[in-house]
Amino acid sequence: MTTRIDRRGVLAGAAAFGSLGALGIPAAWAQDARIRLLWWGSQNRNERTAAVIDLFTGANPGVAVEGESAGWDAYWARLATQTAGGNAPDVMQMDYRYIFEYARRGVLLALDDAMADGALDLSGFSQEAIAGGQVDGKTYGVSLGANSSTMIVSQAAFEEAGVALPEKGITWDDFAARAAELTEKAGKRGFYGSADAGGLEPTFEGWLRQRGKALYDAESKLGFDAEDATAWFAMWQAMRESGACVPADLQALDQLNIETSMVSLGHAGVSFAHSNQIVGYQGMSQTPLVMVPYPIGGPDSKPGQYLKPSMFFSLSANSGVPAEAAGFVSFFVNDPAATEVLGVERGVPESAPVREALKASLDALGQAQIDYIESLGDLAGPLPPPPPAGAGEIQFALKRINEEVGFGTPPEAGAEALISEATAILERG
Amino acid sequence: MPAPAAAGAAGAERAGRFARFWSANGAGYMFLAPWLIGFMVLTAGPALISLYLSLTDFDLLRPPNWVGTANYERIFTADAKFMASMRVTLFFVIFSVPLKLAFALAVAVALNRGIRGLPLYRAIFYLPSLLGTSVAIAVLWRQLFARDGLVNSFLATFGIEGPSWISHPDYALWTLIILSVWQFGSPMIIFLAGLRQIPTDMYEAASLDGASKSRQFWKITLPLLTPVIFFNAVVQTIESFKAFTPAFIISGGTGGPVNSTLFYTLYLYQEAFGFLRMGYASALAWILVVIIAAFTALSFLSSRYWVHYDD
């Protein structure tokens, strides 16, 4: 048998060789370290993150960063699957709720050594900012920014209807009256003063803290009782009945993301969110939005809100390039050019020098975030104890039970269901 | 050979039997190998591993611990969500499968009248089946059935003020059933092929005897079509038990409002990836396998009473 190379064979060979290049084969000899990075977020965040990756690889020849992003829903499934397959990303974005589960299951790398030897420079961080990423005394997460709960208020909706915007320090009762007034004066079908936040865990937590209670106590037990939950569900039921907030079938359209929030869909003048999300909310809205702190319980109301790390970067315990990965995180939170690109999209930066440098370059939305965080003052209290295992499931239960109340279950029955389900989930762990 | 003679003889006989078997069937197995290896590695292997995991507390991140039948006990005794998701899924199967088959049959009969441009109509009616399980259609469905969606705009012209169908616990599941019925394309194509098989002289004889069109349908078309109906019913029932994407997209993965669209598969997904209980989810998956197998077996058992095979 003779071998004959015809034109088609040559073409196939050339194509195969070319596709080797596409597979990244040249990278194998040109670069010796490859960092895999996984994060969740909007298109806006993806663009900013990609720009920082370019800056980093430009400044660090010999290191490549392979970025991958997903939406919040898909993110945790993807991270869990990759981790189970022994293929966890070297650097991963982490959430306050999940960092305890991942750290305690041995998935994350303790960063204390990297901090000690200078590979990870957190010298600009306050002690509280570092402590926010600690689990059982070790540091597993680097905060990418601080945020707090907020109301996102459509300034235009209130002004057009001639209703005064809710102000800082407004009580829940006055807020309900104000929202009902907006519904009535706006007089548009399918438009209401406020979203229904009865099923929203951060709002429930803020309200509980104002009453001197908590969502979870330091022993990972429920920090509230049936009486609190009844009052909470009854308050929102009264707002539904007075037309202050959207009815249950509208609120159920909200899938806990910015795109389907009541303000973004044009169904309400007020939504409940986190301060760094103002960037995303404003992107969805044609008219100006402003941030106002949560309403309060009254003159003897305690601080309900708190400053928290909006998200972290964590390193994989199995990373083959821990030093380079730590270097990337350090670059991400300290480098002047990188932090300018990132702005306050992930929250207000924790590093004091970075925050100072940013003030000159921030746009109005960025400035509004810093102002908002600084304006909270005595409305903000200490960080609550870490959420127990099962907190994510309880969050779903709260949403569902609030829906049940909205569709006809009495608040007392809803409260009982919440207590018994949440207790069962916590016991199961 | 130093081995005892008897054992040697037995070994030789075994080897001989294998040689005979191989020379008779070897080529067949070689041709089967690509599929067989794929089946073993990609289907049977993972299925067996999931059976093992269903007896553990596997959480994806740590090595699994053996817990025996604890997962199954919990599912059957202490899991309200299991019952809720089972109810939703059964409701969906019981209404969507017959409606879809009836609709597919009606369209197939209409198309079988020898109208012009049949291939075009067939393609148009089949289109939803190609698109139906996609994310884009589920998103479109949300728009159609939302409070200010197209459906309510249409109703408003009659002065009817509709609710937000997609997010109301009384109607949300029905919008998913309609979505499923709308994807009647593949059973329709199979019905169409089945209708072509029915000899036309039967209809000629019937009309000579004065049988009306509807009588012809009930006495000739339907009985002769029962094998095709049976096939479609089994396939669609299995598909409906496995439905996932529409509920996932329409409820944002929550199965809401008030668990009204919490399909079994969606609950399974939540347990596995939302709450990292892979062992428990594996047990749920095996229960679904048993349920689908039981339904299929029942269909086959019942078929001897209503399915007429011509030969």
Q: Is residue A402 part of a domain?
A: yes
CA distance B209 to chain A (A): 57
User: What CATH number does residue A262 fall under?
Assistant: 3.40.190.10
Which site among A255, A404, A421, A428 would you substitute to test the B interface, given the most B Cβ atoms closer than 10 Å to its Cβ? A255
Q: Return residues 159-198 of A near B (CB < 8 Å).
A: 190
Q: Is residue A249 part of a domain?
A: yes
User: Do residues A84 and A168 both lie within one domain?
Assistant: no
User: Do residues A130 and A36 both lie within one domain?
Assistant: yes
Q: Is residue A313 part of a domain?
A: yes
User: Do residues B190 and B43 both lie within one domain?
Assistant: no
Distance CA A30, CA A28 (A): 6
Is the full-model pTM beyond 0.90? no
On the question of pLDDT at B6 being above 60, the answer is: no
User: Do residues A364 and A346 both lie within one domain?
Assistant: yes
User: Do residues A349 and A247 both lie within one domain?
Assistant: no
B257/A252 Cβ within 8 A = yes
User: Do residues B195 and B93 both lie within one domain?
Assistant: yes
User: Do residues B160 and B210 both lie within one domain?
Assistant: yes
For residue B61, the chain A residues in CB contact (below 8 A) are 80, 83-84, 102, 105-107
pLDDT of residue A11: 43
Phi-psi region of A152 (alpha: psi -120 to 50; beta: other; left: phi over 0): beta
Beta bridge partners of A291: A152
Distance CA B103, CA B185 (A): 10
Tens digit of each residue's pLDDT (9 = 90 or more) over A150-180: 999 999 999 999 999 999 999 999 999 999 9
Q: Is residue A14 part of a domain?
A: no
Q: Which residue has the tokens 């959430």?
A: A95
User: Which parts of chain A have pLDDT scores under 50?
Assistant: 1-30
Rounded to the nearest integer, the mean pLDDT of chain B is 89
Range of the domain at B250: 71-306
pLDDT of residue A5: 45
On the question of pLDDT at B278 being above 80, the answer is: yes
pLDDT of residue A279: 87
B62/A81 Cβ within 8 A = no
Assembly ipTM: 0.80
User: Do residues B121 and B192 both lie within one domain?
Assistant: yes
User: Do residues B20 and B149 both lie within one domain?
Assistant: no
User: Do residues A208 and A257 both lie within one domain?
Assistant: yes
For residues B174 and B141, is the Cβ–Cβ distance under 8 A? Answer: no
Q: Is residue B60 part of a domain?
A: no
User: Do residues A134 and A282 both lie within one domain?
Assistant: no
> Does residue A93 or residue B128 have the better pLDDT?
A93
Q: Is residue B295 part of a domain?
A: yes
Across the interface, of A76, A249, A393, the residue whose CB is closest to B164 is A249
Which residue, among A69, A79, A130, has the nearest Cα to A102 in the 3D structure? Answer: A79
User: Do residues B82 and B41 both lie within one domain?
Assistant: no
CA angle, corner B304, sides to B298 and B307, nearest 5? 105
Distance CA B184, CA B129 (A): 7
Which runs of E-coded beta strand occur in A75-191?
A: 91-94, 134-135, 138-139, 142-143, 146-147, 149-154
User: Do residues A276 and A393 both lie within one domain?
Assistant: yes
Range of the domain at A158: 149-306+389-428
Chain A touched by B46 (CB under 8 Å) = no
Q: Is residue B65 part of a domain?
A: no
Q: Is residue B190 part of a domain?
A: yes
Lowest-pLDDT range of A69-78, A141-150, B48-57, B117-126: A69-78
Q: How many domains does chain A have?
A: 2
Distance CA A8, CA A326 (A): 49
Q: How many domains does chain B have?
A: 2
Which site among A314, A400, A409 would you substitute to test the B interface, given the most B Cβ atoms closer than 10 Å to its Cβ? A400
Pairing of strands A305-306, A142-143: unpaired
Identify the sign of the CA torsion B83, B84, B86, B87. positive
User: Do residues B47 and B81 both lie within one domain?
Assistant: no
User: Do residues A258 and A170 both lie within one domain?
Assistant: yes
User: Do residues A243 and A111 both lie within one domain?
Assistant: no
Q: Which residue has the tokens 């909200």?
A: A254
pLDDT of residue A13: 43
pLDDT of residue A44: 81
